[in-house]
Structure 1
């Protein structure tokens, strides 16, 4: 993917040299490609990242990447890998309307809340690297000197086909990059945020936290 990425971004209009309106392509396709490329500097990637973060800004909290809204059912040679199907869409001269994407016997049908092609290839591990933590923690010492604490942590993650699920987690599972810092001395403390982390295609780490 590394050697294809510059052409892929340019083909989708994600370059500073040739900027197209953000509405000219499904925003989740832009999120997918910009995330893979480490959010390169462009108007389109800035818009894609803003949508990515806005979705985890309460309330409601949504999956930051909704890959099921990115049409990947483009024509491709039988020997092409899944990631190259994304390239096929990205390098088209004209944007591909969702309703006009051709069906082929080599692709899967669109499935609710998952990618419409097989993305289990390790090339798409950057999608599965995304984790969303909904964090609430509070502690205080009561009038009897006892330390009382309460926490609620949920983690959202992506499955092998880009399906998103949310489950209960714990304070200990919150990444150290989060601003959550539970005091050891039980002084009054309150923290409430949504934290999202990811790795791009090359494995570089990124994160963002929204406090509320």
Structure 2
């Protein structure tokens, strides 16, 4: 692990160093700062990271589905001394877990939506899927309040959320195999803004469970789930799936 990240990840995992004695104070920090730090370190075992992971999973547990990391809620650009020898994640650790007496800006709204002009409206499914009202799209104008375009924040951009709203196939007599699916992929931009785009069952990661027989000899199936995966700071793969 890079030396500049090792101290705060170790502290998150072992409850030692700057974290010890500051857990009560840490409860006042925005949960997304903890999600950001704990996700980067592959969710070290600690009380703050357990709470952060629980919130991360709660946000993808229907319904509604939220971006699991809302980086615009973590005030990384808040006023605290910047040491040129530290990377932004290490400085964020100091700001989050050593902030007795500090104040942080109140988080803004998580989600904003606006009506889209007809030419920019997403296509509607034949079954009139109404998870997103007709003519609306889920948009997030927010992004990180510092530049996160560097490789140390690749783990943020690695997060993918697959919303399998339904995937069904059956063989009604001589009518041939009938397949219906509505899948959306949520992803993060360079600066951490979250957006949805249409996807397909074929695009689901190999770790996803429940659609292994999709497209194979038409066995009857019906499946709904939310699947999120990511890679941490060191490239380790992780995922969670919620069926409903």
- TM-score bracket, normalised by the shorter chain, equals 0.7 to 0.9
- Other structure's SS at 1:4 match: coil
Name the residue aligned to 1:55: 59
Say whether residues 1:144 and 2:174 are aligned partners: yes
* C-alpha deviation, 1:7, in angstroms: 2.6
2 CA distance for matches of 1:91 and 1:154? 36
- Other structure's SS at 1:28 match: helix
Which of residues 89, 92, 97 is equivalent to 2:95? Answer: 89
CA RMSD of superposed structures (Å) = 2.5
Name the residue aligned to 1:182: 213
- Other structure's SS at 1:99 match: coil
Say whether residues 1:42 and 2:46 are aligned partners: yes
TM (normalized to structure 2)? Answer: 0.74
- Other structure's SS at 2:173 match: coil
1:72-94 deviation digits (Å, cap 9, x = unpaired): 12431568654444244246352
156 and 71 in structure 1: CA distance in 2 versus 1, 3 angstrom threshold: same
2 CA distance for matches of 1:199 and 1:37? 10
1:142-199 deviation digits (Å, cap 9, x = unpaired): 0324110101110000011111011101112111110031341211111110000000
Listed as ranges, the gaps of 5+ residues in structure 1 are: 101-110
TM (normalized to structure 1)? Answer: 0.84
Say whether residues 1:157 and 2:187 are aligned partners: yes
Alignment size in residue pairs: 201
1:20-78 deviation digits (Å, cap 9, x = unpaired): 14623211010000000010001111110010010001000000000011111243156
Which of residues 13, 21, 28 is equivalent to 1:24? Answer: 28
Listed as ranges, the gaps of 5+ residues in structure 2 are: 107-139
10 and 78 in structure 1: CA distance in 2 versus 1, 3 angstrom threshold: closer
2 CA distance for matches of 1:8 and 1:210? 30
97 and 199 in structure 1: CA distance in 2 versus 1, 3 angstrom threshold: same
2 CA distance for matches of 1:46 and 1:81? 24
Name the residue aligned to 1:121: 150
